Amino acid sequence: MGPAGFDAIVSKAKAPVLVDFWAEWCAPCRMAAPHVAKTALEMAGQAVVLKVDTEAHPGLAARFQVRGIPFFAVLKGGRPVVQQAGLVGADQLQAWLRQAL
């Protein structure tokens, strides 16, 4: 997801947005992928889930001050309400999104 698409989706989103900052070479990112997919499936209609490749879009990563990956951000009204680096399970991702509803 590039900056233009990212900004368009986030600016129009009525629901909270979970952003997964990742890179293909990152083993913990690959471990997080099933948790992100499960969250997207289980929160469909209540939240938006986006993935941003930090190698392809370093400017987006810099905007959120991503220092390590995986890095997760939950946005509400376009503003971050949660930001955390490290491997996180689906239960925690969903809890963050529910808090932002």
11 in catalytic set = no
Q: Out of 18, 19, 29, 82, pick the active-site residue.
A: 29
SS (H, E, C) the chain: CCHHHHHHHHHHCCCCEEEEEECCCCHHHHHHHHHHHHHHHHCECCEEEEEEECCCCHHHHHHCCCCCCCEEEEEECCEEEEEEECCCCHHHHHHHHHHHC
Q: Out of 10, 15, 23, 26, pick the active-site residue.
A: 26
29 in catalytic set = yes
Residues that are catalytic: 26, 29
